[in-house]
Structure 1
């Protein structure tokens, strides 16, 4: 019966609230009962006395199908904000952060071009090297989940080889290739090997994608696995 919060953002002053973030990309009738159980359990265990806010992120309103009757007062208050990614385009002025989050629901046909646009904006607007690298790594992660067959050329076009070498994905691929002694001199072979993956590696990835809120169907499609295999992998171990 473990509870796991997707994100907890802690303030550096007592006047600011603690933010709890939940990302939900599949319908779940118990989303709100689970969310508030997680939040109040956290508040009970922490010594912080700050007030709190909750943010729930959905791809669209149709996924927001949780039972709300018992939690109407909380959901209708300023305590909780529900965000629908497909509606963020109505915001007149946007930020790199919002554009990066919107990349999650960007159509596959335009996702690569949009990612390049965001990366170029990040290079121009974010002067802090560490923050810039974090944004690029987040974009890289989104694209790998969204477009598992992304080629080395496309990755290089977006990030550049020097920046690509700094990403977690590249470092994992390099380490894996070095340990296995395969194609140590070529990034292309390592990337393709990582993307195609072995069944064991794919099975290890399933819980991570499930934790991000992807459905069984989405995970199966992204990893090229049978839905029954994915379903078994996410079932709690007895």
Structure 2
């Protein structure tokens, strides 16, 4: 499991997040195992939202064994390219994920400065902006592993 979120006021559902970027026919079972283990160990009876964010639709085995949950519990299946289309060119923290859906390496020299400007426009603290730039670099390296960090930083103009 990649993330667990709980509202600070204690209301609402616990959120279990899985980000999936490779083939795994057992992904749904693994997510449910984590959720069920959490509830067994904590004794919590709070509702849950299980979210699976697939980096690409091709990684979804489409074999979820459980599709009906007693509301308000639910399973949410999302695909990163669809999510990023919704935000379009709007600047936001999710800008750091845009490299993961870029189709061609040749588009990087134009796209990277644009992404950097989107992050700059958020007017965040220096430490938060630095973290987002590092996440952007990591996403680019993940999507295009033959690039070096130095090449990416040159595109970002650090």
* Fold-level similarity (TM above 0.5): yes
Q: Which has the higher contact order (CA 8 A, sep 6+)?
A: 2
Between the two proteins, the alignment pairs up a number of residues equal to 154
Structure showing the higher strand proportion among its residues: 2
**Residue of structure 1 aligned with 2:83, choices 79, 82, 88:** 88
Cα distance between partner residues in 1 of 2:91 and 2:45: 31
Structure-2 change in CA distance of 1:157 and 1:149 (3 Å): closer
Structure showing the higher helix proportion among its residues: 1
CA RMSD between the two structures: 2.7
The Cα of 1:89 is off from its aligned counterpart by 4.6
**Residue of structure 2 aligned with 1:35, choices 31, 34, 45:** 31
Structure-2 change in CA distance of 1:111 and 1:40 (3 Å): farther
- What corresponds to 1:117 in structure 2? 114
Q: Which runs of 5+ in 2 are unaligned?
A: none
Q: Does 1:138 align with 2:144?
A: no
Question: Is this contact kept in 1: 2:13–2:48, CA < 8 A?
Answer: yes
Structure-2 change in CA distance of 1:92 and 1:118 (3 Å): closer
Question: Is this contact kept in 1: 2:56–2:80, CA < 8 A?
Answer: yes
- What corresponds to 1:16 in structure 2? 12
Tell me the SS of whatever aligns to 1:12. Answer: coil
Larger radius of gyration: 1
